[in-house]
Amino acid sequence: MTSPCSDAFVFFGATGDLAYKKIFPALQAMILAGELEMPIIGIAYSGWSQQQLRDRARASIEEHATLDPAAFTRLCAQLYYLDGDYTQDAVYHELRQRLGQARRPLHYLAIPPSMFATVVQGLAKAGCADNARIVVEKPFGRNLASAQALNRTLQTVFPESAIFRIDHYLGKEAVENLLYFRFANSFLEPLWNRSYIHSVEITLAESFGIEGRGSFYEEAGALRDVVQNHLLQVVTLLAMEAPVSTDPAGMRAEKLRLLRAMRPLEPGNVVRGQFDGYRHEKGVAPDSQVETFIALRLHIDTWRWAGVPFYLRAGKCLPITTTEVRVDLNPPPLPVFDVISPAQSNFFRFRLSPEVVIAAGTRVKQAGSGMRGEGVELLARNQPGYDALPYQRLLGDALRGDGTLFTSDACVEQAWAVVQPVLDAPGPVQSYPRGSWGPPAAAAIVADTEGWHDPQPEAGAPC
Ligand code: BG6
């Protein structure tokens, strides 16, 4: 079923950090792709002029993308800046007037979640929510209870089919490819279960710190910032069953089934770390207990995955910036030639960023007279011509009413339910030197294997 496209794009938080880093580049890309032929209204309460917002858009695109003069001119012609206090009715009335003939606006809330309820109610009161769609940014709540409350707030005004919860990881080509690769290659299916898979490891490593986002990060920490959303989504795509249909409902049903089978985290299976110097960052408490690193063991209680540990790790100030999945297979049952340890056995490696790589770790015979082997990766480097930015992809889908790459109410709540025991009893935070792989205690998480596989710079990748 196709739904009509939205006919106006409204974004709250137009002068903010997210607009600067991601939204303006995505808007220019959407204009170039012919996907945004409608009024664009940016709203904030900063006292700015139209020109200031245009200057900001230009600076944003120059810093985070490549300015296309013709597309940028069109963007400026379509862009209107509306300044107003979100707590006052006036801004919503002015918005209704600005929307003019538009009958199906899309409202994108790139603002702190504490303002969501106020804005949603303001939109409804002024008649701006009729036939509208709403896109909300992460973090979607701080825990299970606040996510449930937020869902209730949104659903008092918008039907679930008009609510689009962003997890930008789902807009990444390489992340979508996980799902495609699994279900478009029949050779994988016989192996993709507890009989052949020994363990799954996912690392989201960043070599940079919190980049001036101290007060945001103090409210979040690694578990809320990237595990509850991005990493659990990646686990879901790796582990879910094939959907019976690829429409949003079919996909969401399978994702939810998988999330429900995830065992809530046990605090004893989690190690939290904090990089040295974090407490001296602006906006950070001198005795902060917030984690900038987390390592954990997750279990999925299904027939396919029972007994297969999923090791997850994420952190700031680590040795490299990359996100990588590694699926380790069991070694052969008996040694025919040389003894193959679990660490030497077959694996699949999916590098999700910054490069896009799929590799199969195999054993081949070393040249020479003995029957001894060595590990060799069969490698597919996927450099797609289609290089849509995740936000271009996601906002374009939301305008078209396609919710496939967005998180449903039930899925987002279930993901919070998985991490909630650690939010309730987080345990101590342990310091680690910048540039290291987190606190030494993280090794305990993988004690039943031969240790973490630290992602390395990709051979042949630009420095
Ligand atoms: C964001 C987090 O959601 O994801 C950031 O708030 C993190 O802390 C970022 O750096 C990682 O995503 P990407 O796409 O920049 O690798």
Q: Which of 15, 4, 76, 66 is nearest to 40 (CA)?
A: 76
The token pair at 339 is: 């003894």
Q: Round to the nearest angstrom and report the end-to-end CA distance of the chain.
A: 46
HEC string of 5-52 equals: CCCEEEEECCCCHHHHHHHHHHHHHHHHCCCCCCCEEEEECCCCCHHH
The token pair at 265 is: 């985290």
The C-alpha atoms of residue 169 and residue 231 are separated, in whole angstroms, by: 9
- Whole-number pLDDT of residue 384: 54
State the amino acid at position 261 in one-letter form: A
- Whole-number pLDDT of residue 23: 95
State the amino acid at position 444 in one-letter form: A
Is 225's C-beta closer than 6 angstroms to any atom of ligand 1? yes
Is 206's C-beta closer than 6 angstroms to any atom of ligand 1? yes
The C-alpha atoms of residue 395 and residue 171 are separated, in whole angstroms, by: 9
| Edge-to-edge order in the sheet of strand 163-165 | 79-83, 40-44, 8-12, 105-109, 133-136, 163-165
The ligand 1 atom at the shortest distance from the C-alpha of residue 353 is: 16
The ligand 1 atom at the shortest distance from the C-alpha of residue 213 is: 8
Q: What is the largest CA-CA distance in the chain?
A: 84
Q: Which of 198, 136, 83, 127 is nearest to 450 (CA)?
A: 198
Instruction: Give backbone dihedrals phi and psi of 182, rounded to 5 degrees, phi first.
Output: -65, -45
Distance 226 CA to ligand 1 centre (A): 7
Is 226's C-beta closer than 6 angstroms to any atom of ligand 1? yes
Pocket test for ligand 1, best of 226, 278, 389 (most atoms within 8 A of CB): 226
DSSP tally for the chain: helices H, then strands E: 13, 15
- 85 three-class SS: coil
- Whole-number pLDDT of residue 365: 94
Is 397's C-beta closer than 6 angstroms to any atom of ligand 1? no
Could you please report the per-residue DSSP string of 163-199? EEE--GGGG-HHHHHHHHHHHH-TTTGGGSSTTTEEE
For 425-455, give one letter per residue: b (16+ CB within 10 A) or e. Answer: ebeebbebebebbbbeebeebbeebeebbeb
Neighbours of 387 (CB within 10 A): 9
Domains annotated for the chain, with CATH where assigned, are 8-137 (3.40.50.720), 170-389+413-446 (3.30.360.10)
The token pair at 423 is: 């939010």
Identify the DSSP state of 260.
H
**pLDDT tens for the chain, residues 1 to 463:** 568 999 999 999 999 989 999 999 999 999 999 999 999 999 999 999 999 999 999 999 999 999 999 999 999 999 999 999 999 999 999 999 999 999 999 999 999 888 999 999 999 999 999 999 999 998 899 999 999 999 999 999 999 999 999 999 999 989 999 999 999 999 999 999 999 999 999 999 999 999 888 988 999 999 999 999 999 999 999 999 999 988 889 999 999 999 999 999 999 999 999 999 999 999 999 999 999 999 999 999 999 999 999 999 999 999 999 999 999 999 999 989 888 888 888 999 999 988 889 999 999 999 998 899 999 999 988 765 445 688 999 999 999 999 999 999 999 999 999 999 999 999 999 999 999 999 999 999 999 888 999 999 988 765 4
Nearest CA to ligand 1 atom 4: 226
The token pair at 14 is: 């137009």
β-pairing verdict for 197-205 and 322-329: antiparallel
Is 394's C-beta closer than 6 angstroms to any atom of ligand 1? no
